[in-house]
Structure 1
Amino acid sequence: MNGLDEIKETWHINNQINLYLLNGIEQAHMNDTASSKGRTVGDQFGHINNVRLMWLKESEPELMDTVIRLEKGTTDKKIIIEAFKKSAHAMAKMIEKGFQTNRIKGFKPHPTAFLGYIIAHEAHHRGQIILSLKQSDHMPDKKRLFGLWEWGSRASEMEKE
């Protein structure tokens, strides 16, 4: 595996971590929030997806016809999963092109920093989702929480797709 393949795999593992968390949340808890003014769990996932779309629109707008924008209030896990798979695939193409050209349009300083930025952004919102569930007394089980750190396991899941 070359460096670019490892970079794309890292991106896809991050997406698998998001889906692993989502799959561990009961549909009934998708409206949980950490506070009365906070985003719901569903809206947190929607935000993650839609920030991906924001970057795609800025950097590679031709990929926008392959993705799904999640509207506020979307809680259907099947729709969110479909949107995440499509946006992750489009982002992988954008990241690949960014590493080939050494540029992500609209982002500085370089594609490696962008990858770090976007993964950190998504990890932050995973934390927000877990906080919302915890404060609503719907905390995911410990096995699932520890599984969020098992990136090697998520890589092997990718091979099954």
Structure 2
Amino acid sequence: MNDSILEALLDSYARNNAILLNLLQALPEGGLDAQVLEGSPSIAQQYAHMQQTRLFWLGQVAPEFATGMNQLFRQAGEEWVAERETACIEQALNQSAHAVCEAVRDRLHTGQAMQGPHASYDHPILLLQHLLWHEGYHVGQIKLALKATGYSMPEEVEEKAIWSQWRTEVW
């Protein structure tokens, strides 16, 4: 694979991670509790789920890159509770995004297959694509959950948090 294409793909995943973190920082007071519907995952649970998903798939297809990663769910009695400290969420997502990119880079350069006991990808880039699709879905769910609470993100905040990561416009 052409190195400039690889770097552009890895950069796209880094930008995706930046969007997740920008949205986290843009949440209004109490935003981590927002849900699309009663019984739906809260925004805090969605962030924890995205981290858990990254770690699960890394653990399946490139386990050496999943070691030592921070979980965002912790057990409290019988219940699993999502992390609520934005600094911890940010640190975990940065850590796992870096690990995902390094795993993809490693598998492309070494030719080692991305396969494990319960999962495999035909090509390492498909791990990136899978996670981009999954996390994009959750960005939509986060925005919908905020709307369900009556919060509409101002256009200038959304532009800076999300769309400016992909393109620049001059009017």
Q: Work out whether the TM-score is over 0.5.
A: yes
TM (normalized to structure 2)? Answer: 0.81
TM (normalized to structure 1)? Answer: 0.85
Q: Is 1:90 the equivalent of 2:103?
A: no
Please give the per-residue CA displacement for 1:34-90, whole angstroms capped at 9, x wherever unaligned.
Answer: 111100011111111110000111122222333101113322211101111111111
Range 132-141 or range 33-42, more displaced? 132-141
> Could you tell me how far apart the structure 2 residues matched to 1:113 and 1:64 are?
17
Aligned to 1:127: 140
Alpha-carbon distance change, 112 to 62 in structure 1, aligned in 2, over 3 angstroms: closer
Instruction: Report runs of 4+ in structure 1 exceeding 4 Å deviation.
Output: none
User: Which of these two proteins has the greater Rg computed from alpha carbons?
Assistant: 2
Aligned to 2:30: 28
Structure 1: unaligned runs, 5 residues or longer:
155-161
SS of the aligned residue for 1:130 comes to helix
Paired residues of 1:52 and 1:91 also in contact (CA < 8 A):
yes
> Could you tell me how far apart the structure 2 residues matched to 1:90 and 1:66 are?
11
SS of the aligned residue for 1:30 comes to helix
Paired residues of 2:34 and 2:145 also in contact (CA < 8 A):
yes
Once the two structures are TM-superposed, the CA of residue 104 in structure 1 deviates from its matched residue by 2.4
| 1:104 counterpart (103, 114, 126) | 114
Paired residues of 1:17 and 1:151 also in contact (CA < 8 A):
yes
Aligned to 2:48: 46
Structure 2: unaligned runs, 5 residues or longer:
74-80
RMSD (Å), alpha carbons: 2.0
**Larger proportion of helix:** 1
Once the two structures are TM-superposed, the CA of residue 8 in structure 1 deviates from its matched residue by 1.7
Please give the per-residue CA displacement for 1:112-149, whole angstroms capped at 9, x wherever unaligned.
Answer: 33322210110000100111010011232212323312
Q: Is 1:79 the equivalent of 2:97?
A: no
Once the two structures are TM-superposed, the CA of residue 6 in structure 1 deviates from its matched residue by 1.9
Alpha-carbon distance change, 45 to 27 in structure 1, aligned in 2, over 3 angstroms: farther
Paired residues of 2:100 and 2:128 also in contact (CA < 8 A):
no
Q: Identity over the aligned pairs, expressed in percent?
A: 23
Please give the per-residue CA displacement for 1:85-119, whole angstroms capped at 9, x wherever unaligned.
Answer: 11111111111123222742233332233322210
> Could you tell me how far apart the structure 1 residues matched to 2:86 and 2:71 are?
14
Once the two structures are TM-superposed, the CA of residue 153 in structure 1 deviates from its matched residue by 6.4
Aligned to 2:164: 150
Listed as ranges, the matches of 1:56-71 within 5 Å are 56-71=58-73
